[in-house]
Structures are given as structure tokens and as C-alpha cells.
Amino acid sequence: MHVGDRPGLTTPAAVLALEREHRRELVDDLATEEPLEIRLAAGGQTRSLAITMRTPGNDFELAAGFLFSEGVVSARDDIVGIEYCVDPSIDAEQRYNIVTVELAGDMPALERLERHFTVNSSCGVCGKASIEALQVRAQPIADQLQVSYEFVAELPDKMRSAQRIFASTGGLHASALFDKRGNLLTLREDVGRHNALDKIIGWALLNGRLPLRECVVLVSGRASYELLQKSVTAGIPIVCAVSAPSSLAVETARAFNVTLCGFVRGSKCNVYSAPERIIA
């Protein structure tokens, strides 16, 4: 990568491919994984808030979605602007790995937030916030959306057909947002499943579409507490996952009246909470 270049979505790598007695040298496309530091600027101060390992792309959405999911901002008007680092003291190669979010008003009291903001691509934000802490700033979902089982069963194929980067790398998670008619509203890919959902929430925040009423989200892989927490803050009534949910994800879905569907594959799925939204 040349100094100052924006990191790409994929990175080529030389590999030795082995198949029985055959050996081939070829070039493989890997999903790029780079750090992203999120900084806050407000009231004449600039503070570093979080570092996440992510796939470059839609970085401003990622930052906005993360801040909303964690309660740092509550509305689009709380954000004055978002930009990449322009500090001349920073190595030019890293400037696209730092975003600064300028907030309206004073710097929030970050030490009072419920989490320590260190993020990685496998486990999400380190440490778990309790359901009780989430209840302080979020209410149960009252959305009366109902969809058919067939609606849910068709979502994985729709998501897979839109996963442009996964098709070339095989190494990315995805979150896909659908409306009540099954139309794909937006899809984001990332090495971190929580990042992919934050990018969708950031897209909705920056475009004035929150809360996401009458919407369904499908996530690749398992459904964790982290993903349910983010879905609750965004007002998403139905969360579907290709793989299994965790026990805390199910507890959270039940506490906030979210319909949680797991193992959504082929002609099967399990509904763990609020099953009245899935109709025959």
C-alpha cells in the first residue's frame, strides 16, 4: 500500500494450494482487516473512544452506528460531522484508519458509560453490559409487524446474492436489512459481525431512518447479546440469524419483545421469542 492510500476491501496474498498430490501457487483475495480508531471532538476537546478491527468501507456509518448503539448519541442532530484524520503528526498511511466524529454540545461524560470501548472482530465490545443496564436507555419493542415463515426462509438467499465481497473472499460476516415486503434495504459486510450491524444502524441514523420500524435484520453466523443489544437500540422488531443464538441473546430478545429466529437455513428455523410475529 502506498503512503496515504485508502485501504481496500480485499488484499491479495500468495498461497500454496494443496489437493492430494497436487500443488499449485496462486493468488488469493483476503478480506482486509485494519484497525479503526474512533475519536470524539466536542467542546474544544478531542478524545479517543474506541478501536475496532474492521473491513475498510462505510467507516463513517460504522462510527455513527457504534456511537448510537452505545448511547453516546441519540439522534442525527447530535453529530455535526465525521471526517478522516487530518492531523499532520499522524503517519499518512494511518489517516484512513482514524475517524473523528464532531459532536454538538460538550464532550459527554464517557467514564459513566456502561462499557469499556475496546472492540475486536471476534467478540465485539469487551465485557458484557447487563440487560438491566440496557433497560435504562431502551424500551421493549412495541412494533406489531408480522411476516410469514416463507418470508423468513427466503432471507438467506437474498442476503447471499448481495454479498459482493464474500463471493471473492469467503471470509466476511454480513448484516442485511429488509422491509416488511422482503425488499433488501441495505447490506453491509465486515470481518466483525457487530461492525456489519453498526454500519447498517449508522446508515439509518445518518439518513434519518431510525427507529427501524417494520424492518427485519438477518445476520450471518450466530446471534450474540451484542447484536441483540444493537437491534434493540435501533428498534428492530425481528432479528434472524443463520446460526445459533447465545443464551444471553435469547434472554435479551425476550426482555425487549424482539422476535429472534435462529438456524434460518433452507426450510427450517427456530423461533426463540415473540413468535406471534411469525404467522402461517
Residue 272 three-state SS: strand
CA-wise closest residue to 49 among 59, 37, 61: 37
CA angle 29, 161, 259 (to 5 degrees): 115
Q: For the chain, count helices (H), then strands (E).
A: 7, 16
Cα–Cα distance measured from residue 173 to residue 248, given in angstroms and rounded to the nearest whole number: 21
Q: What is the layout of strands, in order, in the sheet containing 173-179? A: 184-190, 173-179, 215-219, 238-241, 259-265, 268-273
The answer to whether 207 and 133 have CB atoms below 8 angstroms apart is no
> Which of 85, 123, 126, 269 is an active site residue?
123
Residue 41 three-state SS: strand
Assess whether 269 carries a catalytic annotation: no
CA-wise closest residue to 34 among 65, 64, 8, 60: 8
Cα–Cα distance measured from residue 194 to residue 54, given in angstroms and rounded to the nearest whole number: 10
The answer to whether 195 and 54 have CB atoms below 8 angstroms apart is yes
Instruction: For residue 261, list its beta bridge partners.
Output: 240, 271
Q: What is the dihedral of CA 214, 60, 240, 113, to 10 degrees?
A: -90
Cα–Cα distance measured from residue 134 to residue 71, given in angstroms and rounded to the nearest whole number: 10
Strand pairing class (147-148; 278-279): parallel
Which residues carry out catalysis? 123
